């Protein structure tokens, strides 16, 4: 991996981490396009630079994170199901799923179709919606975390899983998007921390600067991506992202077949 590769992957991570299109899936596909060897370091790199995007959440939501105990209670409860499932399946995911383009493409395609069908159904639904994070019940917080756990499969998208799950539970779109951002903090911290504990001994000294570059780039780009999505969901559904997922999957299938 080169510095250019680290910058490109950092940009991809920063843009896609919080959009419902799967950051891990896009980094795997980008790595294939750039012909980066599927090494253990690349897998660690793809997990680690997510911390840059998470730092962007901390910066933008600093006031809420330092003043709202009720938000933290729901974040922690939402993290528990994901943490348990992620820890149990960590080895399987990293060994068999990370780096697997076929898994990514099927996940993008099927996920895109699912989001498209969901949005067409959801717009016909009526009723009151939960307006703020503090009003989300502990049970619903845990169920959102359970939905998030589905995203251990590359290409599913943590953001898509949590947001769709939250909408099904009656949470307002803007509220579940914000909760999805905040829920990413312990989730990505745990995922990156676990991977570093298991992989630190294999990371060479001359690879640390690549991790640093990817981290910084993903942080800067994610700041813009978060602001974009917060404004986007005020007036739009996720149908454009669903169509994008389907198009990317079909395009890459064509490229792979050729």
Residue 92: the pLDDT is 79
> How would you classify residue 170: left for phi > 0, otherwise alpha for psi between -120 and 50, otherwise beta?
left
What pTM did the predictor assign?
Answer: 0.88
107 HSE (CA, 13 A, CB side) = 27
Residue 199 or residue 105, greater confidence: 105
Query: Closest Cα to residue 211, out of 198, 222, 196, 224?
Result: 196
Residue 30: count of CB within 10 angstroms of its CB: 18
Coil, strand or helix at 153: coil
Question: What is the CB-side half-sphere exposure of residue 204 using CA atoms within 13 A?
Answer: 7
Share of the chain above pLDDT 90, in %: 57
Here the tokens at position 40 are 């253990």
Number of other residues whose CB lies within 10 A of the CB of residue 256: 11
Q: Which of helix, strand or coil describes residue 171? A: strand
Rounded (10°) CA dihedral 238, 242, 245, 246:
-170
How much is the average pLDDT of 59-84?
Answer: 93
**Which residues are paired to 195 by β-bridges?**
none
CA 25, CA 113: separation in Å to the nearest integer?
Answer: 16
Half-sphere exposure in the Cβ direction for 65 (13 Å, CA): 18
Digit-coded pLDDT (tens) for 194-220:
777 777 767 787 888 999 999 999 999
Q: How far is CA 11 from the centre of its chain?
A: 14
47 or 110, higher pLDDT:
110
Confidence tier at 181 by pLDDT (50, 70, 90): very high
DSSP 96: I
What would the mean pLDDT of 61-65 be, rounded to a whole number? 92
Q: Could you give the CA distance from residue 220 to residue 101 in angstroms, rounded to a whole number?
A: 27
């Amino acid at each position: 991996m080169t510095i250019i590769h680290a910058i490109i992957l950092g940009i991809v991570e920063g843009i896609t981490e919080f959009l419902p299109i799967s950051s891990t899936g896009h980094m795997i596909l980008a790595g294939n396009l750039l012909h980066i060897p599927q090494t253990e370091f690349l897998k660690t790199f793809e997990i680690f630079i997510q911390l840059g995007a998470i730092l962007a959440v901390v910066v933008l939501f600093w006031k809420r994170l330092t003043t709202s105990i009720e938000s933290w209670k729901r974040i922690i409860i939402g993290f528990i199901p994901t943490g348990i499932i992620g820890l149990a399946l960590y080895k399987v995911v990293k060994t068999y799923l990370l780096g697997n383009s076929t898994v990514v493409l099927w996940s993008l395609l099927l996920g895109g179709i699912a989001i498209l069908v969901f949005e067409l159904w959801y717009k016909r639904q009526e009723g009151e919606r939960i307006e703020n994070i503090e009003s989300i019940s502990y049970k619903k917080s845990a169920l959102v975390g359970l939905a998030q756990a589905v995203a251990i499969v590359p290409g599913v998208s943590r953001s898509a899983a949590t947001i769709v799950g939250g909408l099904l539970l009656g949470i307002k779109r803007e509220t579940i998007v914000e909760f999805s951002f905040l829920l990413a903090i312990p989730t990505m911290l745990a995922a990156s921390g676990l991977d570093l504990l298991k992989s630190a001994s294999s990371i060479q000294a001359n690879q640390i600067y690549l991790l640093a570059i990817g981290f910084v780039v993903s942080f800067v780009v994610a700041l813009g991506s978060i602001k974009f999505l917060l404004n986007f969901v005020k007036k739009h559904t996720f149908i454009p992202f669903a169509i994008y997922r389907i198009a990317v999957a079909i395009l890459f299938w064509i490229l792979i077949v050729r």
